[in-house]
Structure 1
Amino acid sequence: MDKQELSDRYRGYIDCLNRQDWPALGQFVDHDVHYNGQRIGLTGYRAMLENDFRAIPDLRFVIDLLIADPPHIAARLCFDCTPVGELFDLPVNGQRVRFTENVFYEFREGRVCNVYSLIDKAAIQSQLPLAKPNDG
């Protein structure tokens, strides 16, 4: 794949996520996909994404920056959403938050085979009200 083909393929993957078209996920993600160094496979990857959408009903992946260097993609994804409970162990509980994810992908035969993700938890935490001190 050249840069344009890989970029188009990645945009198709993001569209699949935003439509929550789980039966089509295998067209974009390898059966033996690794996430942050661990093999979770397509089934685990799908379960992770389904859980994300349960925790964040209005979740939408928005590409802010995309760099293609076959077989790799580097992307900055932006999120503006309202998680229903905790998010990354932070008590968001229905508050609207904005944050980014910097994510690096490796593709093999047109499918994501490795994902390295770093989510800006500090941005989320900075938007939450400070915890009230314990009155003891």
Structure 2
Amino acid sequence: MSSRDEVVRRYRDYLDACNRRAWDEIGTFVADSVLVNGIIRSRSEYIADVQHTFSIFPDYRWELRRAVQEGEWLAVHLYDTGTRRDEFLGAPGDGSPVETHEFDMYRIVKGLIVEVEGTADNARLRQ
């Protein structure tokens, strides 16, 4: 993948697969191992992490707001929404709607996510 448009289109396809809970499809966007915030995760562990988000927020959705690409790196600003159905960071699973902003850096090699550095404003998910 070389052009910015191709990289962003593929990332949008990845987000779409996440939002549809297309577990097998998500794996086609991820390398065999991924460095996530300094921790090596296998493809199946990476997918399990995404699934865990849905166990707490069953209707969680990621919406791409902005993307900046440079070389192998893609920086994204995401707007996340969902409904808290299970306890999260001490907040009860009371059906509260939540929203937050997330900022991530993805290193993409040969079309596959090989590294992610990211953060979300999780304090907002407790409110």
Q: Given the two structures, how large is their TM-score scaled by the length of structure 1?
A: 0.85
Deviations 1:9-54 (A, max 9, x none): 1111111111111111221011111111110110100111111111
Change in CA separation of 1:92 and 1:63 when aligned onto 2, cut-off 3 Å: farther
Number of positions where the alignment pairs a residue of Structure 1 with one of Structure 2: 125
Computed over aligned residues only, the root mean square deviation of the Cα atoms, in angstroms, reads 1.3
Q: How does 1:39-50 map to 2 (within 5 A)?
A: 39-50=40-51
The whole-number CA distance in structure 2 between the counterparts of 1:26 and 1:58 is 20
- Structure 1, unmatched stretches of 5+, are 129-136
Instruction: Give me the whole-angstrom Cα distance separating, in 2, the residues matched to 1:92 and 1:105.
Output: 31
| SS of match in other structure, 2:33 | strand
The unaligned stretches of length 5 or more in structure 2 are: none
Q: Which moved more, 1:63-72 or 1:33-42?
A: 63-72
- Counterpart in 1 of 2:79? 78
Q: CA deviation at 1:124?
A: 3.3
SS in 2 for 1:17: helix
TM-score (norm 2): 0.91
Counterpart Cα distance in 2 of 1:105 and 1:92: 31
Deviation at 1:92, TM superposition (A): 4.4
> Which is greater in Rg?
1
What residue number does 2:38 align with?
37
* Residue identity matched to 2:29: F
Name 1:65's counterpart in structure 2.
66
Could you tell me the percent identity over the aligned residues?
Answer: 26
Identify the structure with the greater strand proportion: 2
Find the residue that maps to 2:84 and give its secondary structure: coil
Aligned partners of 1:105 and 1:113 also within 8 Å:
yes
